[in-house]
A = this chain, B = another copy of it.
Amino acid sequence: MAESKKWVYLFEEVAEVEKYAGSWDGVRGLLGGKGSGLADMTRAGVPVPPGFTITTEACNEFRKTGQFPLGLWDQVLAALKVVEQQSGKKFGDPLNPLLVSCRSGAKFSMPGMMNTILNIGLNDQVAGGMIKLTGNPRFVYDSYRRLVEMFGTTVFNFDDELFEHPLAEYKAGKGYKLDLEMTAEDWQALVATFKAAFKKQAGFDFPQDVLKQLELATKAVFESWMGKRAIDYRKATGISDDLGTAVNIVTMVFGNMGDDSGTGVAFTRNPSTGDKKMMGEYLLNAQGEDVVAGIRNTDQIENLGKTMPQVYRQFMDITGKLEKHYKDMQDVEFTIERGKLWMLQTRNGKRTAKSTIKIAVDMSNEGLISREEAVLRVTPEVVDALLHPQFDENSKKTAVVYAKGVNASPGAAVGQAYFDADTAEEMAKENKQQTIMVRPFTKPDDVHGMIASQGVLTSEGGATSHAAVVARQFGIPCVVGASMIKIDLENRIMEVDGNVVKEGEWISVDGTTGQVYIGKLPTSAPSLEEQTDLLTLLGWADDIAARKDIRILPDGRKAPGLQVWANADYPKDARRARSYGAKGIGLCRTEHMFFETERLPIVQKMILAETSAERTGYLDQLLPTQRKDFDGLFEAMDGYPVIIRLIDPPLHEFMPDEEKLFEEVVTMRVKGETLGLKEKEDLLASIKSLHESNPMMGLRGVRLSITMPEIVEMQVRAIFEAAADCTKRGIVVRPEVMIPLTGTVKELEWIQPRLIRIARTVTEEKKVDFHYKFGTMIEIPRAAVTAGEIATLAEFFSFGTNDLTQMTFGYSRDDAERNFLVTYVAAGILPRNPFQTLDREGVGKLMQMAINDGRKTRPELEVGICGEHGGDPDSIEWCHMIGNNYVSCSPFRVPIARLAAAHAALKYSGQKIAEDK
Contact = CB atoms under 8 A, between A and B. Distances in A.
A381 interface: no
A842 B743 CA distance: 9
Interface stretch (A411-419, A636-644, A800-808): A800-808
Contacts of A670: 666-667, 670-671
Contacts of A781: 781, 807-810, 842, 846
A812 B743 CA distance: 13
A819 B695 CA distance: 11
Given A693-B814, A810-B697, A706 B782 contact: no
A829 interface: yes
Contacts of A613: none
Contact of A815 (B695, B828, B841): B695
Given A670-B671, A696-B697, A829 B782 contact: no
B445 A820 contact: no
Given A743-B810, A781-B781, A810-B803, A815 B662 contact: no
Interface string A668-684: 00110000000000000
A478 interface: no
A659 interface: yes
Contacts of A695: 693-694, 812, 815
Contact of A786 (B693, B827, B830, B842): B842
A514 to B, nearest CB: 31
A811 interface: yes
Q: Which of A696, A779, A806 has the largest count of B CB atoms less than 10 A from its CB? A: A696
A729 interface: no
Contacts of A807: 697, 781, 807-808, 810
B663 A815 contact: no
Contact of A699 (B819, B842, B917): B819
Interface in A457-479: none
A827 B750 CA distance: 8
B786 A841 contact: yes
B815 A699 contact: yes
A199 interface: no
Interface in A725-778: 741, 743-744, 746-747, 749-750
A539 interface: no
B814 A744 contact: no
A839 interface: yes
Contacts of A917: 917
A420 to B, nearest CB: 12
Nearest to A839: B782
B808 A785 contact: yes
A829 B750 contact: yes
Contacts of A689: 445
Classify the interface of chain A: helix, strand, loop or mixed: helix
A843 interface: yes
A808 to B, nearest CB: 5
A819 B707 contact: yes
A609 B744 CA distance: 45
This protein's copies in its complex = 2
Contacts of A780: 808-810
A595 interface: no
Q: Which of A696, A789, A829, A841 has the largest count of B CB atoms less than 10 A from its CB? A: A829
A823 interface: yes
Q: Which of A667, A703, A707, A785 has the largest count of B CB atoms less than 10 A from its CB? A: A785
Interface string A692-719: 1111111100010011000000000000
Contacts of A749: 829
A694 B815 contact: yes
Contact of A785 (B707, B814, B846): B846
A845 interface: yes
A311 interface: no
A108 interface: no
A243 interface: no
A824 interface: yes
A593 interface: no
Contacts of A744: 829-830, 842
A259 to B, nearest CB: 63
Contacts of A252: none
A167 interface: no
A779 B808 CA distance: 10
A824 B694 contact: no
B696 A816 contact: no
Interface string A247-283: 0000000000000000000000000000000000000
Nearest to A685: B422
A600 to B, nearest CB: 21
Q: Which of A744, A839, A917 has the largest count of B CB atoms less than 10 A from its CB? A: A744
A696 B812 CA distance: 8
Nearest to A823: B707
Nearest to A806: B697
A744 B781 CA distance: 16
Contacts of A747: 829
Interface in A812-839: 812, 814-816, 819-820, 823-824, 827-830, 839
Nearest to A843: B782
A785 B845 CA distance: 8
A666 B697 CA distance: 31
Contacts of A812: 692-698
A827 B696 contact: no
A689 to B, nearest CB: 7
Interface in A194-224: none
Contacts of A707: 819-820, 823
Contacts of A827: 706, 750
A782 B808 contact: yes
Given A706-B827, A820-B703, A820-B706, A697 B815 contact: yes
Nearest to A821: B703
Given A785-B841, A807-B781, A839-B782, A698 B819 contact: yes
B841 A706 contact: no
A655 to B, nearest CB: 15
A903 to B, nearest CB: 27
A832 to B, nearest CB: 12
A121 to B, nearest CB: 51
A236 B747 CA distance: 20
A702 to B, nearest CB: 10
A785 B810 CA distance: 13
A829 B694 contact: no
A828 B746 contact: yes
A737 to B, nearest CB: 19
A913 B265 CA distance: 71
A810 B741 contact: yes
A840 to B, nearest CB: 11
A394 B824 CA distance: 61
Contacts of A697: 694, 696-697, 806-807, 810-812, 815-816
Contacts of A659: 662
Q: Which of A667, A814, A819 has the largest count of B CB atoms less than 10 A from its CB? A: A819
A809 B814 CA distance: 20
21 contacts: A663-B666, A670-B671, A692-B814, A692-B815, A693-B814, A694-B696, A696-B697, A696-B812, A699-B816, A703-B819, A743-B810, A743-B842, A780-B809, A780-B810, A781-B809, A782-B839, A782-B843, A785-B808, A785-B846, A786-B841, A803-B810
Given A781-B809, A781-B842, 12 more contacts: A445-B689, A666-B666, A694-B694, A698-B812, A698-B815, A698-B819, A707-B819, A780-B808, A781-B810, A782-B810, A786-B845, A807-B807
Which 3 A-B pairs have CB atoms at the shortest separation, nearest pair first?
A694-B812, A782-B842, A698-B815
